[in-house]
Amino acid sequence: MEKFKEFEREARELREKSADWEFIEKQPEPIKTALKVLVENGDLWLAAKISGLPVDEFDEIRIKAKIPVVV
Amino acid sequence: MSTAVADTCFLVHWLRFRERERIFEVFESIAVPVIVLDEMGARGRVMLAPWLASRRAFLIPRINDHEVEALRLVEFSRSQRLPTLDPPEAYCLAVAKRRGYAVLTDNKAPKYLAQILKDYSTVKVLDSLDILSLIYGDDLAEAVKAYKEDTGLVFSKTRLKTYGINS
């Protein structure tokens, strides 16, 4: 579990650092909130659900927002 | 060769990869639960269509037993404060256990659950880095670079080191 927490910390830092916050702030709701949730917890499926978009369509926006999915 | 059941996020990214067809060097077929297909939009479905049409991928219907087991897994991970397990990946785990398939997912939770739950200890859970490693072997570093370019996905430095790649 400690290993997992360490990975999550590293991943969240990377998402926060890489994200294009100006792009994110310009998005309409609920896309803006969904992108922020993605930065916070890295859960693409949950973020897509919040956005109301299919996962692949939300993922296109994620790429434009420069939020990496960390594996 | 065997069958793997793919989670939504894995599939969405892998289908963008320029050499996505090479996954069939590792698995004979890819199972796609309808619950996963339902999460995909037009682009993903179009990308998946050739695999379905050529019968290298096939759909798994919604089955109540799998849904009940998926809910049990989601509840367990919540009650134990484990990494968040989403319903589609829980469904994939349930299918994999019953059918002897591997699970393809880029999320950490299914891998973690398979490690700690005795009744899931035989389920093999693989992510895209595992698959790239199986396909590319010594040429993994180049493949990782291409995968990152195509998908916007980043592998953790710690994991890359375990494969001998210093990013």
CA distance B165 to B167: 6
Q: How far is CA B141 from CA B136, B161, B166, in A?
A: 9, 11, 9
Which residues on chain B are in Cβ contact (under 8 Å) with A45?
8-9, 39, 86, 88-89, 107
Question: What is the number of other CB atoms lying within 10 angstroms of the CB of residue A64?
Answer: 14
Contacts of B123 (CB under 8 A, 6+ apart): B93, B96, B97, B102, B103, B114
- Kindly determine whether residue A70 and residue B83, on different chains, have CB atoms separated by under 8 Å: no
Interface confidence (ipTM) of the complex: 0.88
Alpha-carbon Rg for chain A in angstroms: 12
Nearest CA in chain B to A71: B155
- Kindly determine whether residue A54 and residue B44, on different chains, have CB atoms separated by under 8 Å: yes
pLDDT at A32 over 80: yes
Answer whether B70 touches A (CB < 8 Å): no
pLDDT digits (tens, 9 = 90+) for B38-64: 999 999 999 999 999 999 999 999 999
Task: Give the CA-trace dihedral at A14, A17, A18, A24, to 10 degrees.
Answer: 120
**CATH architecture of the domain formed by B2-162:** 3-Layer(aba) Sandwich (3.40)
Q: Could you identify the residue written with the tokens 């792009």?
A: A23
Classify each residue of B107-120 as buried b or exposed e, where b means 16 or more C-beta atoms within 10 Å of its C-beta: bbbbbbbbeebeeb
pLDDT digits (tens, 9 = 90+) for B79-127: 988 888 999 999 999 999 999 999 999 998 999 999 999 999 999 999 9
* Cα A10–chain centre separation: 14
CA distance B97 to B89: 12
| Helix residue ranges, H only, A19-54 | 21-26, 31-41, 44-51
Predicted TM-score (pTM) of this structure:
0.93
Structure tokens at A24: 């994110």
- Kindly determine whether residue A55 and residue B44, on different chains, have CB atoms separated by under 8 Å: yes
Q: Compute the residue count for chain A.
A: 71
Which residues on chain A are in Cβ contact (under 8 Å) with B129?
71
Query: So where are chain A's domains?
Result: 2-64
Nearest to A57 among B41, B129, B158 (CB): B41
